[in-house]
Homo-oligomer: A and B are copies of this chain.
């Protein structure tokens, strides 16, 4: 279960969140993601690899360019984990409250 850390770590960077947001609009190539930004192509590439390793994006080669696409499922995974933590906390509060009411 604790491979979630890598997932959150991948999300924990401004640049990468920006890339994810753009990929959320539409799949894009490295050159496309680089255009208009301040980073070099290689910097973008490295971030994409990190996102890929975390399972947040996939890449498909298409001729001379590679199309990167968001993997919604992985966002869901992260969300589920946070849900679980929240729920556990709520349960604990509930148990506490119940215990107080008894005594």
Q: Interface size of A by Cβ–Cβ distance < 8 Å?
A: 34
Using CB atoms and an 8 Å cutoff, list the residues of chain A in contact with chain B: 2, 4-14, 16-18, 20-21, 24-26, 70, 72, 75-76, 78-79, 82-83, 85-86, 88-90, 92
Collect the chain B residues with CB atoms within 8 Å of residue A24's CB: 85, 88-89, 92
Collect the chain B residues with CB atoms within 8 Å of residue A89's CB: 24, 70, 72, 75
- Closest CB in chain B relative to A51 CB, distance in Å: 12
Collect the chain B residues with CB atoms within 8 Å of residue A8's CB: 8-9, 11-13, 17
> Does A9 contact B13, Cβ atoms closer than 8 Å?
yes
Task: List 12 A-B residue pairs with CB atoms under 8 Å apart, sorted by A's residue number.
Answer: A2-B18, A5-B13, A5-B14, A5-B16, A8-B12, A9-B12, A11-B12, A12-B12, A72-B90, A75-B82, A75-B89, A79-B79
